[in-house]
Amino acid sequence: MADSGVETNVTVDVQPSLTIKTSVTIYFTIFAIAWIIFLYLQKRKPTIYACRNESTETASVAVDTGTMFGWIKPTWTTSDEVLFEFCGLDTLIFLRVLALGRKLALFGVLLSAALFPLYATGTNPDEAAGRRKEIDPLERITMSNLSNGEPRLWASVAAMYFMTFYAMYLFRTEYRYYVKRRHQFLSRDDPQQYTVRCSVITAFWPFS
């Protein structure tokens, strides 16, 4: 209502493809500039990104090939055992959490590949009602291209359950892996671990 004091005019983005294109152009340009600066500094000032390499005791286990992009392959091929031994449990789990996110993202891409055709061939409510004649291509492959009560909406529900069960499976797997590595870490013959155990025993000794 006009006299209610509430603004009812809502601007709808009818060209989301153009908005996405503009955003990608801006942020990919920033990314490209930052990437070039990183590659330059990574070779000219290696201590900025690898300060621990100044000492042989804390140096990275990855082999430096000396090329501009040579560091990429070792980051993917270094095994969990090497990371656990030389970088510690925290680093290993942190990288595995990142890998878990990558798996979820890739699974989402696969689900999107199955959902996009279903959305694109749906009945757009605005187009069916004659309110709009041209539908943006990006809107065509989203759920907004489906009418209320359309059977294709069940595909989105199924995709949600697939993603949920897959995520729970990954969480369960990573939890078991963490527990195994945690026990392995605490049972190592490390003087630091021995000191911690002795301190705990002393703290709870009845005559201390």
Q: Torsions phi, psi of 131, nearest 5?
A: -75, -25
pTM of the model: 0.70
pLDDT given at position 181: 93
Q: Where are the domains of the chain?
A: 10-71, 79-208
Q: Are 39 and 68 in contact (CB under 8 A)?
A: yes
pLDDT in tens, 84-137: 988 889 989 999 999 999 999 999 999 999 999 998 888 877 665 556 667 777
